[in-house]
């Protein structure tokens, strides 16, 4: 087998292999050649070549999102690394294990005006779990200029580096840093950055490995919920007649069904879920905004829980955030192994466990349920809301609202459903989702960038039929996502084109002015047609109920190409239809 000659590259590649980092997304470059040579010549790794680094990072994010295993992205030196930042931030806030491997120039070439060189050390410092800044191999010290050739500040720094190298050994230092970085990504579920300086020559190959790095295993820690924590929770739980469980982004099948059934039996508990929660029970409340948008001030107070229990990732619904910040629960417990966000400004209990582990330890203690009409009251409201929802849908014209209703009903069972941000995920939240679907959205930073790339990466990782629903701006913004050779034939995209950022029409502002159209909504007349033709995707158009029905009729059937339906909706009507929907629920 062929290996890069540089020991540092050999070290990194062997440790990635030892720790099961199997998926490697590479972008073309020269400085990262030693890594590219090593990864692509070892059949253990699944390697992907994606030119656009921003797309490459989100593609890797999609793989890691699905597998919940570290996925690596590899780039050359310079600004290439900065293009990873949006995906790094998303991974940071969504707890997705992404490993950034950036090739760098030797330290003596940084800050002297050398080409394709920036300060790469700790570049992600505000959105990273670990930054490993590796050192050149000892044998490459001959390439460092003599002390008299270095500026005084570099002279001192270089002497310190050499001293450190003599004391600890650069090879040992690098091995420990790489181990720590990858272990952190695996344990804490988030992004890490390994910056790797390489000196020329970069393309030399050897037939045998010259280093055997030490593999440092992840320490196994049994996390048990302390007895006094369970006792305190039990006492408070048993005395409260209004308890709300609010679930954010949650992995499918991560909570045992028996615990969901038990929670559903308790009349003092209501469970509010979002599309990305991937939790289903007939008594749960799927469409949060549908439930709470029409509430009067007095009704909001009646909904106010005494105890709020949250788990999962970030919440989409602004309405529930506003309600719970205004009418704060007496207690807010958040269940998560790593962190707890004080989203509602009343967090008083961070239970450091997985939700499943907590319910397994806690629910058997609840031997009787508190008498309460809390759930039954809101179940009756839910029933009324659903009736009005159906009545409203029967009378409205073709619009974004009717498109999402039709599309979400059309998705075959057991699909992965990836949803773009902004309007797309908010419309999706208003409908009950088929419980066999697995729903995902980049809610860590809630940006429109990278949604298509993430969806494609997810589809590649799972090899399952995947539908991606997105808006026109998000689709066009990430159009380079289609510039790769890995899009599965069973991948489907629906672009809802309302000729701009339709969500801004729902927000307060002066609509239908030149300033609004240009700088907020971003009016345009672009379509996906030529992009689909260029990248070899099957393309269809729909612009009313009949053409949408026709386009969907064979959309999910097997084909030789990925398929796209672009649905054109009336931008001047969409906001009125949505705003009138919430009025109709009252």
pLDDT tens profile 249-266? 999 999 999 999 999 999
268: number of CA atoms within 13 Å, CB side?
18
Task: Give which of 209, 212, 136, 131 is closest to 177, Cα–Cα.
Answer: 131
Q: What pLDDT, on a 0 to 100 scale, did the predictor assign at position 140?
A: 43
Residues 461 and 440: their CA atoms lie apart, in Å, by: 14
pLDDT tens profile 359-372? 999 999 998 899 99
Give me the helices (H) in 41-151, please.
Answer: 53-67, 85-94
**Do you find a cis peptide bond into 201, omega within 30 degrees of 0?**
yes
Q: Does 141 score more than 80 pLDDT?
A: no
The percentage of residues in the chain with a pLDDT greater than 90, rounded to a whole number, is 84
Residues 554 and 558: their CA atoms lie apart, in Å, by: 9
Residue-range domains of the chain with CATH: 3-206 (3.40.50.970), 227-380 (3.40.50.1220), 396-584 (3.40.50.970)
The percentage of residues in the chain with a pLDDT greater than 70, rounded to a whole number, is 91
Mean pLDDT of 51-67: 98
Residues 359 and 370: their CA atoms lie apart, in Å, by: 18
Residue 326 DSSP one-character state: H
Q: Determine which of 127-136, 155-164, 301-310, 435-444 has the lowest per-residue pLDDT on average.
A: 155-164
Three-state DSSP state, 310: strand
**249 backbone dihedrals φ, ψ, rounded to 5°:** -60, 130
Q: Does 147 score more than 70 pLDDT?
A: no
β-sheet bridge partners, residue 440: 418
Q: Does 517 score more than 90 pLDDT?
A: no
Mean pLDDT of the chain: 92
Q: What pLDDT, on a 0 to 100 scale, did the predictor assign at position 162?
A: 57
Token pair recorded at residue 150: 């270095």
Residue 79 DSSP one-character state: G
Token pair 């090899």 is found at 463
Three-state DSSP state, 478: coil
223 against 62, higher pLDDT: 62
Residue 111 — very low, low, confident or very high, per pLDDT cuts 50/70/90?
A: confident
Residue 144 — very low, low, confident or very high, per pLDDT cuts 50/70/90?
A: very low
Residues 285 and 265: their CA atoms lie apart, in Å, by: 14
Mean pLDDT of 448-461: 97
Q: What pLDDT, on a 0 to 100 scale, did the predictor assign at position 110?
A: 84
pLDDT tens profile 488-509? 999 999 999 998 766 655 666 6
Q: What pLDDT, on a 0 to 100 scale, did the predictor assign at position 552?
A: 98
């Amino acid at each position: 087998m062929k290996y890069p000659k540089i020991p540092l590259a050999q070290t990194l590649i062997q440790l990635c292999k030892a720790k099961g980092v199997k998926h490697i997304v590479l972008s073309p470059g020269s400085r990262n050649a030693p890594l590219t040579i090593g990864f692509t010549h070892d059949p253990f790794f699944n390697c992907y070549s994606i030119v656009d680094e921003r797309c490459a990072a989100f593609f890797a994010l999609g793989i890691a999102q699905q597998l919940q295993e570290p996925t690596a992205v590899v780039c050359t030196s310079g600004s290439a690394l900065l293009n990873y930042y949006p995906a790094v931030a998303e991974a940071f806030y969504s707890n997705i294990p992404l490993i950034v491997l950036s090739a760098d120039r030797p330290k003596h070439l940084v800050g002297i005006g050398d080409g394709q060189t920036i300060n790469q050390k700790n570049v992600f410092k505000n959105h990273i779990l670990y930054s490993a800044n590796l050192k050149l191999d000892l044998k490459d010290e001959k390439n460092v200029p003599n002390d008299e050739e270095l500026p005084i500040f570099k002279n001192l720094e270089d002497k310190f580096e050499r001293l450190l190298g003599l004391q600890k050994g650069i090879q040992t230092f690098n091995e420990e840093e790489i181990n720590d970085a990858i272990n952190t990504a695996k344990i804490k579920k988030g992004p890490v950055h390994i910056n790797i300086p390489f000196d020329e020559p970069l393309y030399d190959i050897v037939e045998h490995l010259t280093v055997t790095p030490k593999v440092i295993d992840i320490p196994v820690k049994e996390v048990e919920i302390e007895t006094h924590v369970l006792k305190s929770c039990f006492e408070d739980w048993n005395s409260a007649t209004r308890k709300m469980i609010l679930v954010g982004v949650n992995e499918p099948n991560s909570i045992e069904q028996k615990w969901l059934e038990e929670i559903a039996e308790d009349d003092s508990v209501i469970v509010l879920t979002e599309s990305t929660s991937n939790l289903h029970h007939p008594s749960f409340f799927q469409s949060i905004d549908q439930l709470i948008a029409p509430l009067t001030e007095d009704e909001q107070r009646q909904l106010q829980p005494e105890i709020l229990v949250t788990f999962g990732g970030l919440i989409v619904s602004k309405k529930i955030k506003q309600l719970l910040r205004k009418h704060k629960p007496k207690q807010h417990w958040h269940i998560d192994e790593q962190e707890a966000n004080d989203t509602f400004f009343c967090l008083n209990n961070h239970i450091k466990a997985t939700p499943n582990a907590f319910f397994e330890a806690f629910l058997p203690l609840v031997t009787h349920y508190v008498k309460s009409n809390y759930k039954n009251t809101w179940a009756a409201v839910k029933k009324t809301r659903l009736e009005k929802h159906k009545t409203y849908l029967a009378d409205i014209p073709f619009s974004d609202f009717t498109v999402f209703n039709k599309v979400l009903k059309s998705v075959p069972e057991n699909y992965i459903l990836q949803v773009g941000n902004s309007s797309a995920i908010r419309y999706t939240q208003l409908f009950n989702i088929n419980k066999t679907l697995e729903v995902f959205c980049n809610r860590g930073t809630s940006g429109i960038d990278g949604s298509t790339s993430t969806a494609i990466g997810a589809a590649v990782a799972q090899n399952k039929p995947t539908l991606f629903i997105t808006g026109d701006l998000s689709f066009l913004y990430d159009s380079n996502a289609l510039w790769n050779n890995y899009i599965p034939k069973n991948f489907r995209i629906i672009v809802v084109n309302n000729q701009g950022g339709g969500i801004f029409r729902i927000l307060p502002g002066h609509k239908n002015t030149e300033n609004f159209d240009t700088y907020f909504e971003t009016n345009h007349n672009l379509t996906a047609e030529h992009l689909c033709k260029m990248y070899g995707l099957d393309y269809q158009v729909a612009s009313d109920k009949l053409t949408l029905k026709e386009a969907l009729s064979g959309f999910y059937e097997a084909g030789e190409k990925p398929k796209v339906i672009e649905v054109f909706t009336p931008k001047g009507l969409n906001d009125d239809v949505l705003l009138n929907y919430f009025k109709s629920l009252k």
